[in-house]
Structure 1
Amino acid sequence: MAVAICAVTVVLPGAASAEPTAVAGNRGAGVERISVAADGTGADDNSVGASITPDGRHIVFSSSARNLTPDGTTGGDRVYVRDQRTGQTKRIGSYSPLQSPVITGDGAYVAYPVQWMNGDRIRQYQVSTGATASANCSAHSCNQPSLSADGRSIALVILFRQPSSGQRIEVQGWNGTVQTVANLHHTHSSRPSISGDGRSVAYQDGQTEDVFVWDRTSGTASGPVEGPTTGATFVQLSDDGSKVVYLSGSDTHVHDVRLGTAQLVPNVRGVAIDPTGRYLLYAPHHTNGPSLTLRDLQTGTEEIVSNQPASARTDAVSAGGRDVVFQSTADDIVPGDTNGKSDVFVRHFF
């Protein structure tokens, strides 16, 4: 079925554990390196910025390595999708990403901003065919894409330079619809995050340090979710739209959209939440312990993702907390890691 984004350029047809052991593929618990060549050797340059689909099958990341696919590249960062079921890695597009790529929940589409002649553009790619489309940015720059589960809706930020600086957060649909989420009179990052069904968008007003949730049906935003007197930094909206993760001071808060209440996770920095809103990935503020930990918000139990120095981004946790993707320069997470570069890993819990 051929569908298109508005004004597209081309039609798009338990308890804490010790450092895990390595595994081949996703057969059982453990950790494996994702940024590898077809022969299993490590990437020959840095790989970063990974996200995983809810079912854990597809992982998207960027890398300046040239040996991840047989065709290779001549240098510069490129975007890759790893299919965990087939063990194949595919390069997506020929442009260098300006921000980390995002992937739809079904693994069918990838989007990321690229440098363009008259301003940055967001390019969206169909993974199976390589067909492309560009979001409608008019004569302005756009960035910070977030995709719905099927890719039919994309939340993005359009930046205005003239006559005065500012931004507009929009949701654009394949059916040609364009809805304004918010107009902000500054260029601080707003980090829009769209729910899987495309109905909700959470974002921050980086100037006032407030977090809001916009409802597509009513066309209105609620918030600030953290209250009127507290400063907050937005992290992520869960894929089901039920939870909003934000930071305030040295603590992480998980806001329940339906109940209007928040669960406090003290003295940690929330990094990502799984699609169901139950599992929180966080990093401690101190350095004398695990660098990444996954917490079950219902039971309070935790699992260590990595004891070695590591980092992760949003959309790093698959549904039910089964898998977590992260990046690290450590050379002792898996055997044979001798490339001396930043690699992408996935931690399987079962």
Structure 2
Amino acid sequence: MSTAVVVCAVTAVLPGAASAEPMTVPGVASDSGAGVERISVATDGTQGDGDSAGATITTDGRRIAFSSSAKNLTSANPVTWERVFVRDRWTSQTTLMSTTAPPIQRPVISGDGQYVALWGLLFRDTKVFLSQVSSGSTIGVNCPGLGCGQPSLSADGRSIAQAATFNRPPSRQRIEVRDWRTDTTETVAEFGHTVSARPSISGDGRFVAYQDGRAEDVFVWDRTDGTSSGPVEGPSKAATLVQLSKDGSKVVYLSGSDTYIHDESSGSDQVVPNARGVAIDPTGRHLLYAPHDANGPSLVLRDLETGTDAIVSNQPASAGTDAVSAGGRDVVFHSTADDIVPGDTNGKSDVFVRRFH
């Protein structure tokens, strides 16, 4: 596999960028304005009796997938392990995704909201389970070898990017893209080690950003011509991949205590100092990050074009990749705080969505 080195110009985004905290309207988010809504509830609004976390959101912000140990979110949740649910914000419907294993990390929902993938344990190996949202049923169990890591889905859910490990005990791995409709697998990269090698796929399935954990490098694979570019961070940095934007234009990676947003077309980088990048919206314009300063907000959404910040949560909160809808309109996160919305009395970690406009 040929590798072209991209030399990046870095443009600093100063930490003193203008801040504008959105209006908070606790309870239910609506099209009429900004607000916060608790997502980890039953269809009738009953709060969960267990911890909920690990949320991802669709491109239009309609559907949110999350994991939960709550047993009262649907009437069909008899097992004791953690399960995956999808909340439809337009219909207020909460649906249980049928799987045979608890999730190891957060589930991933496709951009169109039709499919959910999760990384779970099957016997002693890890597999990727794919469920159809409309039916809630599992339509495939995917992964060769001993197992796979956290998956990344294309917008239509057809292409699944994952890191697969082989041999027992595991000694090598590869980055691959699985097309479950044609039952074909494409190898993106192979490594003679098992140090973290997580991928992130673009919405159209053409580009795959991935990291070589041992070399601490991040690359981008173009499936159209079968070529790889990178390392995107240049030769002088150690990088950890966060996410590729769904339009394929931006690659977010961490290096040291800073977050970098690499522009694929220009080869230049923006840097957000003293911050941990968490996710980027599908258009590549809005970055969700966690400041390292413990005295400020826990999650912040930055408009990379204007340099302005909007506070997602002042209370302790966490989020992961695919947590921002298109245009930065919605951000999903989880928190144990009981004062984000009224009536939070369950004493559990809950999933919330903040709407900005």
TM class by shorter chain equals over 0.9
After superposing the two structures, state which structure 1 stretch, 35-44 or 312-321, moved more.
35-44
Write the distance in 2 (CA, Å) between the matches of 1:137 and 1:33.
Answer: 34
Unaligned 5+ runs, structure 1: 1-13
Q: 1:203 aligns to what SS in structure 2? A: strand
Partner of 2:267: 260
What one-letter code is carried by the residue in structure 2 that aligns with 1:304? I
Pick from 229, 238, 242 the counterpart of residue 245 of structure 2: 238
> Are residues 72 and 321 of structure 1, via their aligned partners in 2, closer, same or farther at CA, if it must alter by over 3 Å?
same
**SS of equivalent to 2:104:** coil
Residues 19 and 304, structure 1, Cα contact 8 Å, conserved in 2: no
Q: Which moved more, 1:332-341 or 1:36-45?
A: 36-45
Distance 2:305 2:140 in 1: 40
Equivalent residue for 1:78? 83
Quote the Cα distance in structure 2 between the aligned partners of 1:181 and 1:268.
30
2:5 aligned residue: none
Query: For the Cα contact (< 8 Å) 1:19–1:307, is it kept in 2?
Result: no
Aligned CA distance change for structure 1 residues 136 and 17 (closer, same or farther; 3 Å): closer
Structure 2 distance, partners of 1:254, 1:293, is 15
Please name the residue that 2:114 is paired with. 108
Give the structure 2 partner of residue 208 of structure 1: 215
Q: Larger deviation: 295-304 or 155-164?
A: 155-164
Deviation beyond 4 Å, 4+ runs, structure 1: none
What is the Cα deviation at residue 302 of structure 1? Answer: 1.1
SS of equivalent residue, structure 1 residue 98: coil
Which of residues 12, 24, 28 is equivalent to 1:20?
A: 24
Aligned-partner Cα distance in 2 for 1:300–1:135: 42
Q: Which residue of 2 aligns with 1:225?
A: 232
> Is contact 2:200–2:244 with CA below 8 Å preserved after alignment?
yes
1:150 to 148, 151, 156: 156
Partner of 2:299 in structure 1? 292
AA partner of residue 69 (structure 1): T
Q: Is the 8 A contact 2:97 2:138 kept in 1?
A: no
RMSD in angstroms over aligned alpha carbons?
1.6
State the one-letter code of the partner of 1:17: E
TM-score (norm. length: structure 1): 0.92
Task: Find the counterpart in structure 2 of residue 52 from structure 1.
Answer: 57
1:165-206 deviation line (CA, Å, top 9, x unaligned) = 011111111223321111012212222100000000001111
CA distance in 2, matches of 1:123, 1:110: 8
Residue in structure 2 matched with residue 66 of structure 1 by the alignment = 71
What is the alpha-carbon distance in structure 2 between the residues aligned to residue 217 and residue 162 of structure 1? 33
Q: Which stretch shifts more, 336-345 or 168-177? A: 168-177
Distance 1:138 1:296, change over 3 A: closer
Deviation at 1:29, TM superposition (A): 0.6
The one-character-per-residue Cα deviations of 1:96-150 (angstroms, maximum 9, x if unpaired) are: 1122111111000011122223622111111112343335533421222111011
**Inter-partner Cα distance in structure 2 for 1:307 and 1:130:** 34
Q: Which runs of 5+ in 2 are unaligned?
A: 1-17
**Aligned pair partner of 1:277 in 246, 260, 284:** 284
Q: 1:347 aligns with which of 346, 354, 357?
A: 354
Matched residue SS, 1:320: helix
Q: State how 1:150-189 maps to structure 2 within 5 Å.
A: 150-162=156-168, 165-173=171-179, 174-189=181-196
Cα distance in 1 for partners of 2:240, 2:36 equals 30
Q: Percent identity?
A: 64
* Residue 330 of structure 1, aligned match among 321, 337, 346: 337
Aligned residues: 337
Question: CA 1:75–1:259 in 2, change beyond 3 Å: closer, same or farther?
Answer: same
The letter for the 2-side match of 1:22 is P
C-alpha change, 1:339 and 1:269, in structure 2 (3 Å) is same
Q: TM-score, normalised to structure 2's length?
A: 0.91
**Corresponding position of 2:327:** 320
2:45 to 28, 34, 40: 40
